[in-house]
Structure 1
Amino acid sequence: MNSCSNNDTTTSAYPVAIKMTDAPGPYNKVFIDLQGVEITGSGGQTVTLNVKKGIYNLLDLSNGVSTLIATDTLQISTVEQIRLILGTNNSVVVNNVSYPLSTPSAEQSGLKLQVHQTLQQGILYSVLLDFDANKSIVDLGNGGYKLKPVIRTIETAISGSITGKISPVGLAAVSAVNSTNPLLSFSTSVNANGNFTVMGLSPGTYNLTITPASPLLPVTKTSIIVTAGITTDIGTIAL
């Protein structure tokens, strides 16, 4: 395994920042034990980034909140894969009771995310890892839980976001669908304060649907324009 030296001034430098966020889920807390972040570039060269090791509560990272987990300056111009290495201290809190999360695949080889991105010299390559806690936890049905991570990579410089709030505050699912390409569909949930942010949207026009708990009816907002690098605030939506 190779790690690039930041003292080498004879080669091109490509700054990298890796951040982590989360889509809200029906749990009190979701803790993951982050121990390492690696990037694999062209030719199979692997670089170990400077990582902020620790146990992170994913539910602190909802509604557009993110945290920086790794930075470095690379001497490789392409990124093919990002690999997260987790420790064994992963857990989920359900109804205020803590349960360990088994992570067999992560312990063996890490969480591998395919990226395929060419870097530009001197321009910060920032990647947001959208860790979906709701879809990533499997109830084994025997009192145990398993971590099967569902993570979406978001390149913040080439994507936009939609943010807003619902009233009254309550459980609700939020989906954003590209009006010209329905296959571009993204979803999240509102948080405890009624706020939501749908991130990683390619530029274009979107229709956003909020589906609250019964007896409230779904509400759709149409023709929302998303611009790269911009968060579009649609304000408070009355249900």
Structure 2
Amino acid sequence: MKKIILTVAVAILLFGLPSCSSDNAASGNYSYKVRLTDDPGPYSEVNVDIQAVEVTGGNGQTVTLNTNAGIYNLLDFTNGVDTLIATSTLTDSRVNQIRLILGTNNTIVANGVTYPLSTPSAEQSGLKLLVNQTLQADIDNSILIDFDANASVVQTGNGTYKLKPVLRTVVAAISGNITGSITPAGALVTVSATSNTTGLIYTSNVDAEGNFTITGLPPGSYSVTLTPLLPLLPVTQTDVVVQAGVNTSIGVIAF
């Protein structure tokens, strides 16, 4: 099966980088895990055929991780749920790049109908997840790939869809989450968190039980807006403070 290498350029600056000025990465054994999560989208299923995960270290060498190859429905991993897709023990303490290798069996389900997800030829040459991660010995080092199902699927015509992956990487140790719920449950509501410092916007949807989680937020102050379908009006909470490694709850929002 022909494989498509998808690469998405996303840079992350990590805290606590070594003070040593040498370009040589430290040697040792470093447990490393790659997990997958999703920002929800307006489909019943978004199925991605993941065949392999590769990482490139600070020494320039590329290693193929032990990958749980298969087809993953991204919508199974929303609102804080994730799954392990690859793991290995690395000898390089730095990870500079992650690359997903996908098969061709990518599909979506919309209104009960399954459609193939084609990939534009311009992206088949490869896009990369660029990271700057320093690993520590004797702990489980991990990184979370947030695959935005909504932004990654483009409808180009009647029954024609293209996969244009929009991904970002999240290091849990230096990021936090915002959680909450709505009442009554069952309303169709989107949730956005806007950084009061950078203006960057992070989004999620409320699930059928009325709960939501926005993951991988850099520490700081945010304005959180819940937007239901008309005629209901949006509700905004300002100055929501996010701390690294902490779930910040904004409670129950009534509509």
TM-score, with normalisation over the residues of structure 1? 0.89
1:83-122 correspondence runs (5 A): 83-104=99-120, 108-122=124-138
Structure 1 position 29 matched with structure 2 position 45:
yes
Q: For structure 2, list consecutive stretches of 5 or more residues without a partner in the other structure.
A: 1-26
State the shift of 1:112 in Å: 1.6
Identify which of structures 1 and 2 has the higher relative contact order when contacts are C-alpha pairs closer than 8 Å and 6+ apart.
2
Q: Distance in 1 between matches of 2:122 and 2:49?
A: 11
User: Residue 67 of structure 1: CA displacement?
Assistant: 0.4
User: For residues 147 and 63 of structure 1, what CA distance do their matches in structure 2 show?
Assistant: 22
Further displaced range: 161-170 or 68-77: 161-170
Q: How big is the shift at 1:174?
A: 1.0
The aligned residue for residue 211 of structure 2 is 195
Say which of 183, 188, 191 aligns to 1:171.
188
Identical columns (%): 60
1:43-77 Cα deviation digits (max 9, x unpaired): 32101101101111111111111001011111111
Q: Which piece of structure 1 moves more, 219-228 or 21-30? A: 219-228
Paired amino acid for 1:184: L
Task: State the AA in 2 paired with 1:229.
Answer: G
Residues 42/150 of structure 1: CA separation in 2 closer, same or farther (3 Å cut): same
Which residues in structure 2 correspond to 1:28-177 (within 5 Å)?
28-104=44-120, 108-168=124-184, 169-177=186-194
User: 97-106 vs 131-140, which deviates more?
Assistant: 97-106
1:145: Cα distance to partner?
A: 0.8
Instruction: Structure 1: give runs of 5+ residues left out of the alignment.
Output: 1-10
Are the counterparts in 2 of residues 86 and 110 from structure 1 also a CA contact under 8 Å?
no
Q: Does 1:227 align with 2:243?
A: yes
| Structural RMSD (CA) | 1.7
TM-score with structure 2 length normalisation? 0.84
Structure 1 residue identity aligned to 2:206: V
CA distance in 1, matches of 2:147, 2:139: 25
Partner Cα distance (1:167, 1:200) in 2: 25
Shift of 1:224: 1.9
Deviations 1:192-236 (A, max 9, x none): 332211111111222211111111111111222211111122221
SS in 2 for 1:75: strand
Query: 4+ residue stretches of structure 1 with deviation over 3 A?
Result: 104-111
Q: d(CA) in 1 for partners of 2:126 and 2:52?
A: 9
**How many residue pairs end up in the alignment?**
228
Give the residue type in structure 1 aligned to 2:181: K
**Which letter maps to 1:225?**
V
Judging changes above 3 Å, is the alpha-carbon distance between structure 1 residues 212 and 146 closer, same or farther for their aligned structure 2 residues? same
Residue of structure 2 in register with 1:8 after alignment: none
Q: CA deviation at 1:104?
A: 4.8
